[in-house]
């Protein structure tokens, strides 16, 4: 290959104003500022770009985190969208890459690609009651939207957070949930599948909290995130309560590899969850939830 052609093929992509655009397939080095242990298998990392600057994202989007020499994995962003100085990810160690992430310490470096995907449509809920339904680590992808809702609290009716965990020991962001529950303008209800120790709160699946209501179903938008079976039953409970399925949104993540819809690993029916999702309007994907092993 001649040199001019080679240089042209490897030149940075440029936008119409001739500013260089970063290649989405090339990881950007970030440094770990802080690591917090949330649960026995779950941790939160705060990252800053090694080259300085800010990082903007929309609530619900995700990044591909790359552990050098090991591989990369898609992780939802769980920080405050208004704070662009730090990038926050809450991760559960369940495989080779996430276990390698868990072994990293403050000062270590990793690669970041993103942000990718669709976001929670917080502005579409202005003027509505807003109900967040989370299961397990599914609270992490919802947390940026909760922050955004609190920052624009006067634009909503009731704002309700319904959260379910397996046991009291598995409750994520426990101190933060307590702070949220102490606000006069935010309703927080927590339940566990199985009570242990001195737990005196709700026991049962999170859909039981939906049945208790506390919101106007004809004027409600709901964001749901957790295991797929939980999201399916939560969406059905919301629909049974009277919430329009066109105002229910779910977050689906499946086998994401490239983040750009190029590799096809995350195909879900006609959709690529990395590009068309991870946030979907429920009425557009409800049929896919009914297909076993899809």
List the domains of the chain with CATH numbers: 28-116 (2.40.30.10), 122-289 (3.40.50.80)
Average pLDDT, the chain: 91
Q: What is the pLDDT of residues 180-202, one digit of tens each?
A: 999 999 999 999 999 999 999 99
What mean pLDDT is predicted for residues 140-165?
98
Instruction: For residue range 229-275, list pLDDT tens digits in order.
Output: 999 999 999 999 999 999 999 999 878 889 988 899 999 999 999 99
Structure confidence at residue 45 (pLDDT): 98
Per-residue pLDDT, averaged over 165-170, amounts to 97
Q: What is the length of the chain?
A: 294
* pLDDT number for residue 141: 98
pLDDT at 195 (0 to 100): 96
Integer Cα distance of 8 and 54 in angstroms: 29
Of residues 98, 107, 80, the one with CA closest to residue 43:
98
- With bands split at pLDDT 50, 70 and 90, how would you rate the model's confidence at 21? low
Residue 116: CA atoms inside 13 Å, Cβ hemisphere, count? 30
Q: What pLDDT is attached to residue 3?
A: 47
| pLDDT at position 4 over 50 | no
Q: Where do runs of H (alpha helix) occur along the chain?
A: 3-9, 96-102, 139-151, 174-181, 207-211, 228-241, 282-289
CA–CA dist 251, 197 (Å, integer): 32
């Amino acid at each position: 290959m001649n040199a001019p052609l080679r240089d042209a093929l490897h030149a940075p992509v440029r936008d119409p104003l001739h500013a260089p655009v970063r290649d989405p397939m090339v990881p950007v080095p970030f440094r770990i500022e802080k690591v917090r242990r949330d649960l026995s298998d779950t941790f939160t990392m705060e990252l800053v770009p090694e080259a300085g600057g800010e990082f903007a994202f929309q609530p619900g989007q995700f990044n591909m985190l790359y552990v050098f020499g090991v591989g990369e994995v898609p992780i939802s962003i769980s920080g405050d969208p208004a704070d662009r100085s730090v990038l926050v990810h809450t991760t559960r160690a369940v495989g080779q890459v996430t276990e390698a992430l868990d072994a990293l310490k403050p000062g270590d470096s990793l690669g970041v690609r993103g942000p990718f995907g669709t976001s929670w449509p917080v502005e579409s809920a202005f003027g509505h009651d807003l109900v967040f339904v989370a299961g397990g680590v599914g609270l992490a992808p919802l947390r940026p939207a909760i922050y955004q809702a609190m920052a624009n609290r006067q634009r909503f009716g009731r704002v309700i957070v319904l959260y379910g965990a397996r046991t009291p020991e598995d409750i994520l962001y426990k101190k933060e949930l307590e702070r949220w529950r102490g606000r006069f303008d935010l309703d927080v209800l927590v339940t566990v599948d199985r009570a242990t120790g001195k737990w005196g709160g709700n026991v049962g699946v999170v859909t039981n909290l939906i049945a208790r209501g506390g919101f106007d179903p004809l004027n409600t938008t709901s964001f749901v995130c957790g295991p797929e079976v939980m999201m399916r039953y939560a969406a059905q409970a919301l629909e049974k309560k009277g919430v329009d399925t066109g105002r229910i949104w779910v977050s689906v993540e499946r086998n994401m590899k490239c983040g750009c819809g190029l590799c096809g690993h995350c195909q879900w029916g006609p959709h690529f969850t990395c590009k068309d999702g991870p946030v979907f309007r429920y009425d557009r994907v409800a049929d896919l939830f009914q297909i076993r092993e899809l």
